[in-house]
Amino acid sequence: MHFLKQSPLLVHKTILDKFNSLCPEQFESFPVIVTNKDGKKPEFVNRNFYLMNLFNLIDAVDLEESIPSEGYEDKDPINDIVYWDKLVFKENPWPEGVLIGRNLYSSASVLFHPSLAKHFIKDKITFFTDELLTKYGFC
């Protein structure tokens, strides 16, 4: 397992099940046990969460339109951490069949294909759907 320069995505089993039905080959998952270790009562154990390690890197940033922050102009956006004053995404960066992945130039960012919103809304799962997706006709 290799998590690049980012944190793994922590999701509830409901979300994991949906991704398993839509794009199971695009990630791997690992169970997480959530407990309260601070000694407060009531004690609990929750086994409904998973870490997702995403396999796809998506070339989503328009490097010609984006502007790195001062001091980051000469950094390599793939191999170095770069902060951006202006970050512009490409109109359609999605490779054929890819529904979820990390941004190639900022691997801490998780990218969801807009078509996923329809699937999650249908099942009343709205963790990443918002007014913008509705506004632009994806929902």
pTM, 2 dp:
0.73
What is the residue extent of each domain of the chain?
Answer: 9-135
Q: Could you read off the pLDDT of 79-103 as tens digits, one per residue?
A: 777 788 888 989 999 999 999 998 8
Name the β-bridge partners of 50. 11, 31
pLDDT confidence of 126, banded at 50, 70, 90?
Answer: low
Q: Contact 18/125 with Cβ under 8 angstroms?
A: yes
Q: Contact 5/109 with Cβ under 8 angstroms?
A: no
Give percent of the chain with pLDDT exceeding 90: 32
> Is residue 136 pLDDT above 70, yes or no?
no
